[in-house]
Amino acid sequence: MRLLAAAALAAAAAGCQGNGAPAATGRGTPPADLVIFGRVWTGDTARPWAGAVAIAGDTIAAVGDSSAIAAMQGPATRVIANGNAMVAPGFNDAHVHFASGGFQLRSVDLRTAATPQEFIARLKAYAATLKPGEWITGGDWDHERWPGSPLPRRDWIDSVTPRNPVFVNRLDGHMAVANSLALTKAGVTRATRDIPGGTIVRDPDGTPTGILKDNAQDLVYRIMPDASPEQNDSAIARASAWAASKGVTGVSAVSVGWGELAAMKRAYRNGTLRTRISAYVPLGDWRRMADTLRADGPGDDFLRVAGVKGFVDGSLGSRTALFYEPYADDPGTSGLLVTSEDSLRRWIGAADSAGLQVVVHAIGEKANGLILDIYDSVARAHGARDRRFRIEHAQHLRPADAPRLARLGVVASMQPYHAIDDGRWAVKRVGPARIRNMYIFRTLLDNHTHLAFGSDWTVAPMDPILGIYAAVTRRTLDDLNPGGWIPEEKIGVDEALRAYTAGDAYAAFGEGVRGVLRPGMKADVVVLDRDLTTIRPEEIRDAKVVATVVGGKVVYSAKN
């Protein structure tokens, strides 16, 4: 009955598109379940603006002027009136660590610790709330905030965490610091050999300082207890609620563990999932994912399970992003190849043969050049099809590589907030010449690249409004670049909005159901307290989410 109602409303509202006179709904036409009035940015290039949206069930029934939509109201119709403020397609986030974010919401927050002393004090206070033996993880510390940018050490925190093993990561997730208790449990000593694709940071005598980079982190992660199903369920619920509060209606969840995926499936079956998810398990698990796809299919528009995510390199902040030339502030390294080239070629080729979507993390110029070469060779070997290879981050691209993404049909899955964060200190890592090739949003769009925006939560805040602000202004977080950091790479508000809506939907094969407000599409809508297209760019970051609608259901309201 709900689908029939949506179809009837859509037919009755055929004249609501654009600015022409609306068609009458007609006596007997079922009323809309939800009507939203405001300045509607539809994301539809044919009809970019409207005055209201009508929703029947989980589907958009009509988009048109306010008088036409008002005629579709009935006694039980819920109404959201937003004046002249913006209504838009629900934001999507193309790159999140969804369950990890849910866990971090309950863990110690080290992101804003401004000094080593504050870092230590926050760990001490959090440890006091735990039982002996409970692990302290997450944290998301940022040593670039600290005077002199020293890396934390185990001896900083041993005395304040004597009863609890600690393994808290830098905000980029590519290095973490362990206390002595955690290192002992993991068997990491002076005699431990170095790990391919990782680094054990050591004192001059060979003793580990507690810092483990990239693959070396597995020495600790492999001995940590797995989260229980109940803990995973709670993490998914917290993450979904947080997403709704930020106007996020869909995500690409990357590096998803199998226990986390099981929790997503439970939430979906129970009807409690409030965020559309496209899930990507580790690339090395391609065979298990292929078996899952054959047995269960890819899922639907609420939970899609059909992809794998790999890594080429590490991160700029950890000096493990892979470049052709050494780091300016550490000439002894040009970064790390986290996954061997042979493994990347074999796994990507096998995953593609199995019909899986492949998305791969690449930060440095050499990492991006390598993954483009691999994508090109795999596509040539396997023949043309709509595979939508993605590069996650695509952060540093040589000028010769920028046009290749569009030519190869590769999606650039990027995170604008990283630009205004890294821009505070990136020049000391790679020098003034290479920073010109960082976060080249304008260049990629001018080359007609498919651009999808996200956050990398919890590496950065899951907040598309901040992401739009970052892409449009490129003002670094320290406000030392009021005209924009690498300002020639700024993009427009409508372009940033599209990258957070239709662009993300395309990146996850979802453009047929979301990303645009158009009759027949799923009713995913975000309501904002101002029109991002008419305010000064510097004011975008002050905008707030008024309401979030997923599949016709109001999953967040600022009034509640």
pLDDT at residue 22 greater than cutoff 60: no
Report yes or no on 449 lying in a domain. Answer: yes
CATH number of the structural domain spanning residue 335 = 3.20.20.140
Report yes or no on 259 lying in a domain. Answer: yes
Residue 199 and residue 264 in one domain:
no
Residue 142 and residue 247 in one domain:
no
CATH number of the structural domain spanning residue 50 = 2.30.40.10
Last residue of a domain, one of 186, 221, 256: 221
Average of pLDDT values for 123-145? Answer: 95
Last residue of a domain, one of 189, 221, 253: 221
317-338 pLDDT, tens digit each: 999 999 999 999 999 999 999 9
DSSP assigned state of 480:
-
Q: Tell me how far apart the alpha carbons of residues 99 and 120 are, in angstroms, rounded to a whole number.
A: 26
CA dihedral 79, 85, 90, 95 (to 10 degrees): -150
pLDDT band, residue 2 (cuts 50/70/90): very low
Last residue of a domain, one of 221, 256, 285: 221
Mutual orientation of helices 341-353 and 286-296 as an angle, nearest 10°?
10
Length of the chain as a residue count: 560
Report yes or no on 331 lying in a domain. Answer: yes
Residue 161 and residue 253 in one domain:
no
Residue 30 and residue 10 in one domain:
yes
pLDDT at residue 240 greater than cutoff 50: yes
Residue 215 and residue 263 in one domain:
no
Q: Tell me how far apart the alpha carbons of residues 275 and 462 are, in angstroms, rounded to a whole number.
A: 13
345-356 pLDDT, tens digit each: 999 999 999 999
Q: Tell me how far apart the alpha carbons of residues 293 and 287 are, in angstroms, rounded to a whole number.
A: 10
Q: Model pTM? A: 0.90
Residue 250 and residue 375 in one domain:
yes
Cα 379 → chain centroid: 26
Residue 379 and residue 526 in one domain:
no
Residue 404 and residue 257 in one domain:
yes
Cα 189 → chain centroid: 36
Report yes or no on 381 lying in a domain. Answer: yes
Report yes or no on 246 lying in a domain. Answer: yes
Question: In terms of residue numbers, what domain contains 253?
Answer: 238-511
233's enclosing H/E stretch is helix 229-245
Average of pLDDT values for 383-401? Answer: 97
Contact criterion met (CB below 8 Å) for 87 and 66? no
DSSP assigned state of 337:
-
Q: Among 104, 93, 96, 111, which residue's Cα sits nearest to residue 231?
A: 104
Which is it for the CA torsion 314, 316, 322, 327, positive or negative? negative
How many domains would you assign to the chain? 3
Average of pLDDT values for 294-312? Answer: 96
Average of pLDDT values for 236-243? Answer: 98
Q: Tell me how far apart the alpha carbons of residues 505 and 353 are, in angstroms, rounded to a whole number.
A: 23
pLDDT at residue 183 greater than cutoff 90: yes
Q: What is the DSSP string of 358-380?
A: EEEEE-SHHHHHHHHHHHHHHHH
Residues 6+ apart with CB under 8 A from 373: none
Report yes or no on 227 lying in a domain. Answer: no
Residue 489 and residue 347 in one domain:
yes
Average of pLDDT values for 85-89? Answer: 98
Average of pLDDT values for 492-501? Answer: 98
Residue 65 and residue 36 in one domain:
yes
Report yes or no on 250 lying in a domain. Answer: yes
Task: Give the three-state DSSP class for 494.
Answer: helix
CA dihedral 118, 124, 128, 129 (to 10 degrees): 50
Average of pLDDT values for 446-466? Answer: 97
pLDDT at residue 228 greater than cutoff 80: yes
The order of strands in the sheet holding 34-41 is 59-64, 49-56, 34-41, 78-89, 525-528, 545-550, 553-557
Average of pLDDT values for 106-118? Answer: 95
CATH number of the structural domain spanning residue 172 = 3.10.310.70
Q: Tell me how far apart the alpha carbons of residues 274 and 510 are, in angstroms, rounded to a whole number.
A: 16
Contact criterion met (CB below 8 Å) for 286 and 356? yes
Average of pLDDT values for 185-194? Answer: 96
Residue 415 and residue 364 in one domain:
yes
Average of pLDDT values for 263-269? Answer: 97
Quote the pLDDT of residue 28.
56
pLDDT at residue 310 greater than cutoff 90: yes
Residue 399 and residue 289 in one domain:
yes
DSSP assigned state of 109:
B
Quote the pLDDT of residue 182.
97
pLDDT band, residue 368 (cuts 50/70/90): very high
Contact criterion met (CB below 8 Å) for 87 and 41? yes
Report yes or no on 231 lying in a domain. Answer: no
Quote the pLDDT of residue 560.
74
Residues 6+ apart with CB under 8 A from 354: 286, 287, 289, 290, 293
